[in-house]
Structure 1
């Protein structure tokens, strides 16, 4: 997104993030309390800290010849963090062990880190500079489809403190997710120390800074109001989801959004559409193949849009349920499997809520995360997983009103109910 001021804080590249038990308990409680886990939309009201984050970004963001230079919204000046090099070195040893076990992972990881350096997202320090380094930012690898993405772990705690503790996360500027839906050398394991020169997507402030800067770029590009509105309402952090009645209208908006963002060195990639006409035209509008930042077009019919399965040929949304072979029935593995059924629209809520209630019961009984459940509990879970597996074959139309022009009247039918275990509401839009 842009450079970060005062680059004297140095980070070292390693892997594996640690999760404190209390953090796991807190996140599990959130997961069981709401069907919108991780996607909650926050109201427009801002705290004093959020207002200060907005002010800091507005006052200190600078447009460069290419891209933007953005500040880190510290809570109070720059933090006095304890040097965490010992933790980083421990994690590096864990990384090399995983490389030995999984050569394919090592190859993908090295390629991702090489790209980070080659594109100038990070720069290698001299030995003298590395000795002066005070704080190191670890990272881990996450596969998004076949592609490995490096996620920087600003939440890794050392002696009770982490980088995120000193940062204002900023207000949630992204629209409601349901609304949007409707470094390493090639042949060495020696450590090298690098400075991050781009905003790392692992700090709590990253989504806020990215969204605010994207919107600023649209405004400073003097884009038409409808394009600025599209960037505000149809972008979820760095993903753009547009829908239009015709391919021509959709193409006009998409190209305008792409060009406005590209003027700030923010390049949309990975285009997918249910329209062949759109794909053909967007391909003509792509940069030459030798461009340093080419737009990419996905030809796959099945993929994901903001985590939700989407078949672009049939234009239907659905679910991807992971395989359950060799499942170890512990509280932690069960929770992981249940959480993997991503359902921000709440379509599978009647099924998912039963699993959440049962997970909560395991916790109230005092079952440890790594402890195996009883035979009777396992029978219940085997039956639930057997019921959940067919979700992979379930789909529903993405378009709510394919014949909108013919609709004369809408009606809202709302229902709500509660029990000792859960409460729920459902609203039908009838026409």
Structure 2
């Protein structure tokens, strides 16, 4: 109750947020994701758990978040749940395969977690309180009927449900099952295929099979507009819809944190601004951590910042102490270049469109200095005309450890930075 009152106090001075909050709770009830239970149902169970909730703002949108990691009397819901194995493919593998072929498609399953029902015996442990800001009465008790966001087991359970559904309904569509196993990263779907006809067929099969289980895959986008032109408008992404209606010349999609320009078929970086009134170690780490770079294309830039951070720790300082030494100009110079990241792009596909591949080689280079070491992988393709095409694949770097190592030893460390990631590049190849 105390946490509910705290949330109500925060909302009481903002009628707009109250409206959003009530709308979100009512939406959960209307969709059947959560139900209001009677006092008899509340008292019928011997064990239960109540999840606190509050409002957060992310990407300009207000969301109600359920804190399943809240600790009460040394008990924590998530600590008592098994996260389960990681069933989906690694993020890196999905992104590397996304760059293989000429035609690429993306989509996501709407409210994927909320499409998986809970056992009735588990529902009492996923309760929450709300009373529509009517603080003069006792709150209503709600129970989740589906997997909520925030529980540590939800990703594993939802992924298993989707995979099991496909296994039970694939009816000989082995290509679809293979795509499900390798192209889904939780609810996000990224796939590349050799031709538009194959891509359109795969989309239709995925939509039909998922619909049988109550899953709605939508937000479809493609670098070839004809592939998604036959879909209903509500099944296509907003950017793709504008592209098809000629209202936008350069549609952009978000693909697992990267920016994908469908028309030019290039990948780029989202602008991630972090506002801070003064430079402290806390803000430095926050800014550096916000630069999402799963493929390592901006490694030369972020490595500079990591070297500065390592140097900052040579002076004893607290997390919130203002940085005022000689390293401050170096950091400010680095930070001033952040806005230029949105101009950095690289081809989505490893090879140009409409070429016949004759030979493929993976080349990995590594090097080290006294300050840092790293490695980069390129793919070299020779086409049927004898022309050579080289494309960036992956890069990783580390700052040199504080204890001084010889350059040869650091070079050995550099060789190991791509040892595991390189395996994602080996089994499949672009065609």
1:428 pairs with 352, 362, 378, which one? 378
Distance 1:92 1:428, change over 3 A: same
1:171 pairs with 73, 85, 95, which one? 85
**1:234-383 map, 5 Å:** 234-283=183-232, 295=235, 297-299=237-239, 301-323=251-273, 327-360=277-310, 362=312, 365=315, 367-383=317-333
2:94 pairs with 167, 180, 183, which one? 180
Long gaps (5+) in structure 1: 1-88, 287-293
Normalising by the residue count of structure 1, what TM-score does the alignment of the two structures yield? 0.69
- Contact 2:33/2:146 (8 A) holds in 1: yes
> Tell me, what secondary structure is at the counterpart of 2:149?
coil
> Tell me, what secondary structure is at the counterpart of 2:200?
helix
Shift of 1:162: 1.3
> Tell me, what secondary structure is at the counterpart of 1:415?
strand
Long gaps (5+) in structure 2: 97-128, 241-250, 382-431
2:153 alignment counterpart:
205
1:195 pairs with 134, 143, 167, which one? 143
Shift of 1:398: 1.1
- Contact 1:271/1:298 (8 A) holds in 2: no
Distance 1:217 1:351, change over 3 A: same
Shift of 1:161: 3.2
Shift of 1:108: 3.5
Shift of 1:315: 2.0
Shift of 1:160: 3.5
Residues 1:219 and 2:159 aligned together: no
1:66 alignment counterpart:
none
Q: Which runs of 4+ in 1 moved over 6 A?
A: none
Distance 1:326 1:169, change over 3 A: closer
Which range moved further: 411-420 or 391-400? Answer: 411-420
Q: Number of paired residues?
A: 334
CA separation in 2, counterparts of 1:364 and 1:97?
44
- Contact 2:4/2:130 (8 A) holds in 1: no
> Tell me, what secondary structure is at the counterpart of 1:171?
coil
2:71 alignment counterpart:
157
1:57 alignment counterpart:
none
Residues 1:91 and 2:6 aligned together: no
Shift of 1:201: 2.2
Residues 1:408 and 2:358 aligned together: yes
Shift of 1:228: 0.8
Distance 1:280 1:119, change over 3 A: same
Normalising by the residue count of structure 2, what TM-score does the alignment of the two structures yield? 0.69
Shift of 1:170: 1.2
- Contact 1:412/1:429 (8 A) holds in 2: yes
Shift of 1:195: 0.8
Distance 1:118 1:410, change over 3 A: same
> Tell me, what secondary structure is at the counterpart of 1:313?
coil
Distance 1:157 1:422, change over 3 A: farther
- Contact 1:152/1:201 (8 A) holds in 2: yes
CA separation in 2, counterparts of 1:124 and 1:366?
54
Which range moved further: 295-304 or 409-418? Answer: 295-304
Distance 1:360 1:268, change over 3 A: farther
- Contact 1:123/1:197 (8 A) holds in 2: yes
- Contact 2:266/2:348 (8 A) holds in 1: yes
- Contact 1:112/1:148 (8 A) holds in 2: no
2:26 alignment counterpart:
114
Shift of 1:402: 2.9
- Contact 1:327/1:333 (8 A) holds in 2: no
> Tell me, what secondary structure is at the counterpart of 1:242?
strand
1:385 alignment counterpart:
335
Asked which structure has the greater CA Rg, the reply is 2
1:232 alignment counterpart:
181
Distance 1:204 1:281, change over 3 A: same
RMSD, aligned α-carbons: 2.8
Which fold has the larger relative contact order, with Cα–Cα distance below 8 Å and residues 6 or more apart in sequence? 1
Looking at secondary structure, tell me which structure has more strand per residue: 2
